[in-house]
Structure 1
Amino acid sequence: MRSNRKFTLRAVAIGLFFAALTTVMNAYLGINFGMGFGFGVVTIIVSYAILHKMLGGSSRGELGVAYIISTSTLVAHWILGLAIFLAERYQDVSFPSWLYPPNTDPSLGFGVWLRPILTLFSLELMATTLGLVISVLLSSEFISSEKMVFPNYAVSASLIDACIKGGGEARLVGISALAGLVITVSQYALSALGINLVNINLTPYLPKGAVFAITLSLGFAAVGYIISAQVSLSLLLSGLL
């Protein structure tokens, strides 16, 4: 039976789990590789599998709560991890003292990192609070106006909708996720064997700028399918500015 509840303990637990996973993994990836990942889509799929399939049903609101909690973590850990990655590998890179301590001698202890950590968390907390205030004040406009919908949230909402509707749409989501997993695992497995299929450089074989143009075309085709053309063009123009 499908549940109509939204803010449930199980949705909060799943959201918090993926929030913690995001924090740990992105801190590690930031320090060691200078990169990070989002787990919003994974949260939706796992939430659907657990709540809807294993625990008897769920609602769009419940999946939405799990997704929002999982993606509402502060990213100070990733920013600091990226700063550590760059400072360790490039001697000519310099950061202000509030972002990266000038003296990172291990004998000085954890205290040298307090200022960067507290500064980043404070800045992000203020930005998040401002975003919440704006969201509350403009909530009716966000709901009623298509132009206010941001693409990544439109994608997530479409995914939640497909999961709840079930049938062919849910199967398509499952097949796409499985295909993506198989391709990714295969790429990295072959890369470990010395066959690099992760980074394929086609620029020597194509006209200058062709790869970038193709990427933009595919990206805007995908975005234009999910949201209106007006929003796509607005994002393009704002990005160019």
Structure 2
Amino acid sequence: MRPENYQARSHPPSHEYELNFGPNHPGIEGNYALKVKLHGDRVLEARADGGYLHRGFEKLMEQRLWIQNIALVPRICVPDPSPMELCYSMAVEELCGLQVPERAQWIRVMQLELSRIAAHLFTFGGHAATTGMYSTLFWGVADRDRVLDLFEEFTGGRVYSIYNIPGGVRRELPEGFLGRVSATLDYLESRLADYDNLFFTNQVFVERARGIGVMSQQQALEWGVTGPNLR
């Protein structure tokens, strides 16, 4: 055998290139991949692959009793699991013609709002970490923990509460619980100015985020965008 003479090959200059984003990336919640075609820092094309998260929930639910699925559906979304269990319970209620007491409906609303707040604190903390602003992440996780304390008190679970059931909720609220919810919300409201100063109006973040991922109102509605991005 004789050694091969390897030499660098010349390619025609091109400013376009492909980049694999994910499936494991600190800026992504879960295993989700994008194959991105770029021209400089401009995205020309993005192909999504959500298959890394597919765990066959529908098939698993087919093999279980309806009441067993209540513990399964929250795992569809770890940061914000409450809407999943509520949607499933509402589907069973509609199929069976069940009426939910008014008090249980209001408790469900409270649970959803607390879950939404916890998810937002976790999510924008993650966004901040991707730009190197880890203090915002630490603040967000610590403040989210206060909301999880409330979940643990009235549902028994910090992340997967499994509190909604077809026909209502599992248990009554603990004595004095609404006062503790109000106190937690007052504390979180007092923190908004700190988050604005540290992150949302921080010039480093503003310069890196301005003009990125812009969509029109019509595009957002057509694409089914919800939550803070839609607002």
Classify the TM-score, shorter chain: under 0.3
**TM, length-normalised to structure 2:** 0.26
Q: Identify the structure with the greater strand proportion.
A: 2
**TM, length-normalised to structure 1:** 0.25
Q: Identify the structure with the greater helix proportion.
A: 1
* Structure ranking higher on relative contact order (CA contacts 8 Å, 6+ apart): 1
Higher gyration radius (CA): 2
